[in-house]
Amino acid sequence: MNRNLLGVAVVAAGLMATPTFAQGVDPKLPTYRAVSGVSGNLKSIGSDTLNNLMTLWTEGFRAAYPNVQIEIEGKGSSTAPPALIAGTSNFGPMSRPMRAAESDEFQKKFGYKPAVVRAAVDALAVYVHKDNPIRCLSLQQVDAIFSKARKGGGTKDLVRWGDVGLTGEWADKPISLYGRNSASGTYGYFKEVALFNGDYKDSVKEQPGSSTVVQGVASDKFAMGYSGVGYKTADVRSVPISAREGRTCFDATAENAYAGDYPISRFLYIYVNKNPNQAFEPVRAEFIRFIYSRQGQEAVVKDGYFPVTADLAAQDLKDLGITVGSGS
């Protein structure tokens, strides 16, 4: 299977194809209840995309355990693996899967692979200014707009709004491009899926965070940028995208992400150092249980992302060796 389609299929396979709870949480998720014996300090180093969500989870968790101290640092997904390897973090949020080289480096030190929490679902949106009339773009067009390689098969470099069908005042205006920097998992995922692993154009204005991409597009009428759907504001629009030229375009919504119709959907991950022969200490186990609780997934919705199902949560908890009992 094409890796671009594989990413979508993974999301669709782990979620209900037509969830009755839409963007609300799965009613089968347990309500989190505090337990005794939980204390300590936690540190999270990794994805900027997950920064707000980690903060919301932390606020909810500390409401149950006010003596637990949690520090969050979100400078990009590529900072997560080195921090886990060095032992300077307990959680490594990433908006892309860990690369083989990163996982191998972790295994070289510890003798086992890092464990993973599939914490939420994101539709990586292509944003334009709220006044932009564009209604649909194919992945091939997105590639020809952002990439100088055009590995998606586009025959023409798309540089002006007229190149994608806009007329009037838009026709001769250059498309002003905004994106993330190379430390970002969003940068890497968009490069893999939307650019077919091609190189970005030198004209892309790299931003240090997801919110600054959206701010850039909001303040630049002729701009286009990419960022997580959780960062959408009233000043920008997400453009419906089709997997191929001539096919139906789908917007970055929960239903389209779950069904696998929106072609730039992804899991948001949290990687952890978990020795398969040892149990988690209570504080980390309970934090993960909280993420997979009704309150934890309500935080996902609050932050603008899409919740995972109770079945997926139960599977991940089982794989992590965490019982679905105490704390829920």
Q: What is the pLDDT of residue 57?
A: 98
**Among 3, 225, 200, 188, CA closest to 80:** 188
Residue 219: the pLDDT is: 98
Q: Which pLDDT belongs to residue 15?
A: 47
* Domain residue spans of the chain: 3-122+266-319, 123-265
Q: What is the pLDDT of residue 323?
A: 84
Map tokens 């709870």 to a residue.
Answer: 21
Q: What percent of the chain has pLDDT over 90?
A: 89
pTM of the model: 0.85
Parallel/antiparallel/unpaired status of strands 265-272 and 92-94: antiparallel
At 160 the pLDDT is 98
SS3 306: strand
Does the structure show a pLDDT above 50 at 254? yes
The DSSP annotation for 169-210 comes to GGTTPBPEEEEE-TT-HHHHHHHHHTSTTPPBPTT-EEESSH
**pLDDT of 24:** 81
**pLDDT, greater one: 1 or 308:** 308
pLDDT > 70 in the chain, percent: 92
Angle at 267 between CA 233 and CA 144, to 5 degrees: 65
pLDDT digits 0-9 by tens, 101-138: 999 999 999 999 999 999 999 999 999 999 999 999 99
Q: Do domains 3-122+266-319 and 123-265 have the same CATH topology?
A: yes
Residue 252, phi then psi, degrees to nearest 5:
-80, 75
Is it the case that residue 10 has pLDDT exceeding 80? Answer: no
- pLDDT of residue 198 exceeding 80, the answer is yes
CB-side neighbour CA atoms (13 Å) of 140: 11
Q: How far apart are the first and last CA of the chain?
A: 38
pLDDT band of 23, cuts 50, 70, 90: low
Using the CB atoms, write b or e for 29-44: b if 16+ within 10 Å.
Answer: bbebeebeebeeebeb
CATH class of the domain whose range is 123-265: alpha beta
Query: At residue 203, does pLDDT exceed 70?
Result: yes
**Residue 109: how many CB atoms within 10 A of its CB?**
12
If you average pLDDT over residues 190-212, what whole number do you get?
Answer: 97
- Token representation of residue 262: 């929106």
Dihedral (CA of 121, 233, 79, 264) sign: positive
Residue 167, CB-side half-sphere exposure with 13 Å CA sphere:
0
Whether the predicted pLDDT of 3 surpasses 70: no
Of 10-19, 216-225, 247-256, least confident by mean pLDDT is 10-19
What is the per-residue burial (b if ≥16 Cβ within 10 Å, else e) of 245-268?
A: eeeebbbbbbbbbbbbbbbbbbbb
Residue 310: is its pLDDT beyond 80? yes
The mean pLDDT value for 154-163 works out to 96
Q: Are 150 and 143 in contact (CB under 8 A)?
A: yes
**Contact, 81 vs 98, CB < 8 A?**
yes
Q: Is CATH 3.40.228.10 the classification given to domain 3-122+266-319? A: no
pLDDT, residue 325, reads: 57
Full DSSP string of 255-294? HHHHTT-STTEEEEEEEE---TTSPPPHHHHHHHHHHTSH
Neighbour tally for 26: CB within 10 Å = 19
Least confident of 21-25, 63-67, 275-279, 317-321: 21-25
Cα 151 to Cα 17: distance, rounded to the nearest angstrom: 30
Query: How high is the pLDDT of residue 172?
Result: 98
